[in-house]
Structure 1
Amino acid sequence: MLHMPKIMKDILSRVGYGGTKEMEDDVQNLVEILRAQLTNKRYLIIIDDLWSTRDWHTIECAFVENNNGSRVITTTRIQDVAIACCYPSQGHVFQMQLLNELHSSTLFFKRLFGTQDGCPEQLRKISNDMLRKCKGVPLAITSIASLLANQSMHVETWEKIRNSMGSGLDTNPTMEWMSHVLSLSYNDLSHELKTCLLYLGVYPEDHAIGKFDLVRKWIAEGFVRERHGLDLEEAAENCFNELINRSMIKPFFNAHGEVQGCQVHDLMLDLIISKCKKENFMTIIDRNFAMIGALQVRRISHQFHNRDIALVIERVTQSQVRSCKFFSAADCMPLLSKFELLRVLDMDGPGSYVRPEYMCLDLTAINHLFLLRYLKVSYFRLVLPKKFGKLKHLTTLDIESTILCPWDQFSDFTSLSSLRHLILPSQFGDVVRINGLSKLCNLRTLINFRIRPSLIRTSLMTAPPSTHFWSNFIRRPQHLQRLRLGRHIPKVPNCIVHAHRLAYLEGLLVQELRSDGIQVLAQLPCLIYLDLGAITIPEKNIIIHPNTFPSLKHFIFNVSCELSFLTFEPSAMPRLQILRIDLDGHEESTMQLQEDSPVGGIENLASLEKIFQED
């Protein structure tokens, strides 16, 4: 069953309606807003993977029949749902056909060899045998091809896989045989990859799974180990990429073409849940209060919000639980003190944003969970302990989508010596409320970092470099890799040059950008992503010199003032792939380059793939 408020909000956001995060989850109200938004418009809307006629009858109420040539396309695996989606005398059910022999072989060989003609002759007959067994089913073809891509090119190996495929779709029902094919790919995984894949069973069907959240949970669970010179984060990302390469998960991308997360095919999720149950890897509590898994559980996924679910939770042996994920949790929260071995705790509130009247989630007793490594809370008003005295192993604290109670009081981080990732609330105030931040020597990610302007001004302009705030902070967390600022600062701090491992710098908005500030940033050896904004540029021009920004791949530059020119000299930013320039404040009379653009030297960016310029 679809989560209807989310579907409606997704459609609204795609037809240009802003502010959907703050909207109530009232389906009828969302339908009326969408109808108003579509009035007098010509639209094309695609609804993917419908499973019930009831869902369709709810969705269709939002579509206005305005005779403007609009179209609605739905996809489903159920014939009755397809028929229900057709308007009388207007709709048409299109039965998707299986791939023919040519398209099947093209998909298969391109996945394996990059070209249809790349198959060695000795493997051609075996390949054709396997293709015949797949009977044109795309998922079967890509699954087998992905499995073969990780094998040696020996005839014996390929024959073994062909023989293990069984008789194929000729004698087995589609779903049963597909499960068998997917099991072949699963069985070929290493123990580490199998464990990482099974963990995806914590998420419901069609859920968008964030990459960073997932890999941090893998690490917290102890699924991934450092190896071959890779640290934990790099090793976990390698596992994530390997599952993509093997077609076990499907990636999705952000607006800049970067992998943001993944989704799991329904059939693959069915296989995962089956394996989880068989191996007692995870217990899933669904909307029917069915418990998929044993009562002696290691991991729990609560996928439906209801007060009565607390009674279901009481049935499990909570003292053995290592990981707990609550979807739409509120008044069904169990006593956390009973989860003595908990490593991962991820809790979503009842909505898709935080409202001031929401109940407060009191986590002041969380210090008893001394093994806790990962804590994420979303869509709650939140009470944290004043001190995290016993959470010596906590590596991730993500409370971005929360409101703190009280808002002007924050915790002492001094004891969180293992903390690697700190994501603060977006509405959070000044950094002076955070105690012990500069002592977090293992910190790699810091999001929504805000500093009181008076503190910055005093530190940067009057205090000695060895004692001012930035120098004290940047020198301590030597492993800092991601930093997102939440407030503008006077200038680029010189001491940021000490952040040798900094790879992502977001929201760096400076009151005054000068050439020396650019040079400071240009020296960062690992900087991959830079989001830089300038309110004033006294020199009226920016020059990116040769052999600077050696690792930068993505550069966003927002200018809110007059800019005469921005020039990229030869060999500048040698790895830059994406360039986005937003010129808000320039005047046409100041532009000195052709085509009314102050940007020059684009041809010197040898690796550039995409460029966006707005003015």
Structure 2
Amino acid sequence: MAESAVAFLLKQLSTFLLTRSTHLGGGLEREMQFIRDELASMRAFLRDAELKEDDVFELKEWVGQVREVAYDTQDVLDEFIMRFARNRPDGFYGRVHNFYSSIKNIRAHNRISSKIESLKCRVKDISERHNRYRSDYGFSERGSYSADVEDVIYHFRGNALLIDEAELVGIEEPKRELISQILDESSNLKVVSVVGMGGMGKTTLVKRVYEDASVKRQFQLHAWLTISQTFHMKPVLKDLIQQLYHEMKEPVPQQVESMDGDKLKAFVKDFLKARRYIIVLDDLWKLESWEAIRYVFLETNCSSRIMVTTRITETASGCCTKSNDYVHKMQFLSGEESWTLFCSKTFADDCCPPHLEDVSRGILHKCKGLPLAIASIGGVLASKDKSKVDEWEMILQSLGGELEGIGKLERVKKILLLSYNDLPWFLKSSLLYMSIFPEDWNISVRFLIQRWIAEGFILQRKGMTMVEVANGYLNELINRSLIQVAELNSDGSIKYCNIHDILREIILTKAREQNLVMLATSGDFTKLPENIKRIAVHEFIENHHEYKLFKHLRSLSIFGYRNPLNESSLSKLLSGRPKLLNVLNLRGAKLKSIPKEVFKLFHLKFLNLRDTGIEIISQSIGNLQNLEYLNLVNTHVMELPIGILKLRKLRELLVYHKGDYSTNFAVRGFKAPRGIGRLLSLEVLDTIDADNDETVREIGKLIQLREFSITKLRREDGKELCSSLGKLTNLCKLFVDSIKEDEILDLQYPISPTPRALQVLRLSGRLEKVPQWLSSLQGLTLVNLRGCGLREDPLESLQDLPNLVEIIFNKAYEGEELCFKAGGFQKLKKLDLARLQQLKWVRVEMDALPCLRCLFIGDCKQMNELPWGIQNLNNLQRLAFYNMGNELVTKLEDKGSKEYQKVAKVAEIRIANWRDGKWDEHIM
């Protein structure tokens, strides 16, 4: 993390010196350049130093000093910007203001000068120790991994290979699957990759496959190579040659020892070309390592096999590029398997005493099916007194502390930290930051990405938006098995993610050590250091303590409230003037107004007031010149002041209220001030009221919009809206709601150019017919038509869209029949038909809907039979009927009927009716 802090600072310093040097003056500019150059010279050393800091106290102290001086330098830069970069009033009042400010600025300049001089002295002292430690501890500048770390991991990996198969749980099914892949009839060289998070048992599983008798006898030669993070070709090839000759009981040719890399490759290639072999590449981290070694394995007809274990999804798939190759993704143990493994490791007779079952299951819950964690914690508990429940309760409450100890749980930490240590510096902060979220929290990807951006973790890249770069960070952390996907959107994008509880405990400790994030228990801030950067509160309690002056605070997030956080509490919390605050997350607080202290936070970029009681936004909102994200969803705010137009950096503006979804008009937007088109940085605008022609016309100026929602649209606004939409070439999501149920959405006007990036479209309101431009939206993945009352079958306009994966028709069609024509809807996976009151028949012709997985039909009471052709939907997995007519339901419930036989192969069939204020639902 020190490396990350320094790297971010160096980028900021370079930009600062280019743009602000004239305000600094020559002397201060030289001081800042000195600080930049000294820190840059230390950066290469930091990566190695951080790997060894847990074992060497002097290094730990030094790394901490580097990190803190980087943090403090960033604080000084931000203080300078706040003091000298504010927008000043124009005209006479501006001149008066500047006159009175000049005296304050002189004092501020002198104070900042003194701080910079102090920073320079600290950096010089740190630099001297850097030069001494580099020679004392034998570091190179290459940032290589320490031998100590390698030795520890080889030791743990060796332990994994020695486990008795009788001790293993949940291994039989994946073992059978891998053996079947190894022993299939393919005569070509085949690669089988096994991928998963550290500690999931990849090595153990592959070892069992490799040593199985049915596998052993099928191959002439066998070799097991541990690759690890520090891959070097020559030692690996020499190890391979030694194993192969040892198996043949022949001495290794003497010339091998003197061969260079190319000759070794040629030697191995020639040796293997006519033999049938199985070779394991265990713990492969980088695809480059595979690319370097793969050419020694010839494509022959000998049915040879390569097995790879890796934590990196991209590496696993990169090794398996041929059609007969296979990637096996490791799964966490089920609840039953976890309990079996836990009991076998913890209790001598494999049986948990009744008085320990609750606490044992609580501990097991934190392991979330991770075999290494279960086995290690079981080993710790095996030595505990079984009669003292309080000792076991202590383990449950202090698992994070146990991971910091010496012994079996320390090994879990070291194994999982390998993945963290392998991250590039710009991803380390992003991962550690996830420790702010409570345990078992499903993290909204949209929310996470905006926070990363506001915290400054995302680096600008040419030709990409910050959101696109942040999505790349997220995908890379998932690729490295550090983040799990919890839920997908219909288009395959990630909606929610989470992090394994054991890994969360580890990064929480790491984040606290690095002064990146700290948790304030129930809102007790008194025990936190005053230099803390980020505070997360889980379940706030008003404790009436005096709040400290957190002058260095960058982020404050509250997740849940036992007592309400009101205006008085928030004012006290911010009374210490955390003037460098970037992020303020107060979702769910019981606020009616925003305290004036909030509007003094010049550096604030992220303000979340969702689900609060806020009623009015004052003109002072314009003081937050750096605000990029403002969330007022489900508040009482109905109108924004003209002061909002000063927020020229605002990228996301969310102001809507969700109402009763029994109507089509469940979303209430906000009334925008005149001139909303001045917010040229807006990428997301959700939801604006179309209360006049000017508002709709102004939307066309917001050319950066990616997501846009508008409500209260009148028929006469249609032409102007289509004109504005033609200018929004980056638009990905579009939601349009009419002003009332019987109001026509007149969207037949051409949109030029058509928004090619559009992926999601929702139209709520009456349509005389489907807009002509809709059929040209080649990138569209989801169409949602609500209350449209169409009389013509809308499917003809949609059937050829190549990327459409989800359709929702809610009171959208008044005809009696819908027909999915042959060859149409080739990628559609989900179809939802609701409240189509006149619908009697649905036809699915041959070769239509080949990918459909989910079909939901509700409140279509004229339908008395299943869709014609439904038996041909071979990929249908879920079928649900809600509030349907009795005739259809009766046919379905009779498992001997022809209707039921059409869908008997569907894995899940649900039937539900709304009775007595709740759903009466059953699964067939």
Q: Secondary structure of the residue that 1:516 maps to in structure 2? A: coil
The 1:363–1:156 alpha-carbon spacing in structure 2 relative to 1, beyond 3 Å, is: farther
- 2:631 aligned with 1:398: yes
Match of 1:273 in 2: 508
Alignment of 1:189-588 (within 5 A): 189-227=423-461, 229-253=463-487, 256=490, 258-287=493-522, 289=524, 294-308=529-543, 310-311=545-546, 313-314=547-548, 317-327=549-559, 328=561, 330-331=565-566, 332-333=569-570, 334-336=572-574, 338-350=577-589, 358-382=590-614, 383-404=616-637, 410=641, 412-426=643-657, 432=671, 434-452=673-691, 455=692, 459=693, 468-471=694-697, 473-490=698-715, 492=718, 493-495=721-723, 496-509=725-738, 511-513=743-745, 516-517=748-749, 519-520=750-751, 523-537=754-768, 541-542=769-770, 548-568=776-796, 572-584=800-812, 586-588=814-816
Deviation of 1:543 (Å)? 7.5
Normalising by structure 1, report the TM-score. 0.65
SS for the counterpart of 2:536 is: strand
- Kept in 2, the 8 Å contact 1:481–1:504? The answer is yes
- Determine if the alignment matches structure 1 residue 100 to structure 2 residue 162: no
Name which one, 1 or 2, has greater alpha-carbon Rg: 2
Alpha-carbon spacing, 1:301–1:515, altered in 2? closer, same or farther (3 Å): closer
Which segments of 5 or more consecutive residues in structure 1 lack a partner in the other structure? 1-95, 122-126, 137-142, 351-357, 460-467, 589-595
Structure 1 residue 130 displacement after superposition:
2.4
In structure 1, what is the Cα distance between the partners aligned to 2:428 and 2:463?
22
Of 602, 605, 611 in structure 1, the residue corresponding to residue 825 of structure 2 is: 605
> Cα distance, 1:219 vs. partner?
0.8
Does the 8 A contact of 1:393 with 1:416 survive in 2?
A: yes
Q: Is the 8 A contact 1:319 1:339 kept in 2?
A: yes
Matched ranges for 1:80-229 at <5 A:
98-100=169-171, 103=174, 118-119=191-192, 130-131=203-204, 148=284, 150-154=286-290, 175-227=409-461, 229=463
The code of the aligned residue for 2:533 comes to R
1:432 deviation in Å?
4.5
What is the DSSP-based 3-state SS (H/G/I as helix, E as strand, rest coil) of the residue aligned with 1:501?
coil
Q: Encode CA deviations 1:158-213: one digit per residue, 9 max, x unaligned.
A: 99999xxxx99688876443322211111111111111011111111111211111
> SS at 1:213's partner residue?
helix
CA–CA distance in 2 between the matches of 1:288 and 1:366?
19
Displacement of 1:442 in angstroms is 0.8
CA gap 1:310/1:402 in 2 versus in 1, 3 angstroms: farther
Identity over aligned pairs, percent: 20
Whether the 8 Å contact between 2:791 and 2:814 is mirrored in structure 1 is yes
Structure 1 residues 201, 430: CA separation in 2 closer, same or farther (over 3 Å shift)?
Answer: closer
Cα separation, 1, equivalents of 2:744 and 2:685: 23
| TM-aligned CA distance change 1:430 to 1:509, over 3 Å | closer
> Matched residues in 2 for 1:485 and 1:129: separation?
50
Letter in 2 for 1:271: I
SS in 2 for 1:235: helix
Alpha-carbon spacing, 1:412–1:149, altered in 2? closer, same or farther (3 Å): same
Q: 1:515 to 1:410 in 2, by over 3 A?
A: closer
CA distance in 1, matches of 2:627, 2:734: 24
CA contact (8 A) 1:385 1:411 kept: no
Q: CA deviation at 1:105?
A: 8.3
Aligned to 2:220: none
Aligned length: 463
CA 1:292–1:225 in structure 2 vs 1: closer, same or farther (change >3 Å)?
farther
Deviation at 1:386, TM superposition (A): 1.3
Cα displacement string for residues 255-312 of structure 1 (whole angstroms, at most 9, x for unaligned residues)? 635421212211111011011122111111124949897442011111132111744x
Tell me the distance in 2 between the aligned counterparts of 1:250 and 1:505.
29
Question: Which consecutive unaligned segments of at least 5 residues does structure 2 have?
Answer: 1-166, 195-199, 210-227, 230-280, 295-306, 312-371, 381-406, 659-666, 837-924
* 1:360 Cα deviation after fit: 2.4
Q: Which moved more, 1:572-581 or 1:494-503?
A: 572-581
CA contact (8 A) 1:545 1:572 kept: no
Letter of the 1:420 partner, please give it.
R
| Secondary structure, counterpart of 1:262 in structure 2 | strand
Offset of 1:401 from its aligned partner? 2.8
Q: Is the 8 Å Cα contact of residues 459 and 466 (structure 2) preserved in structure 1? A: yes
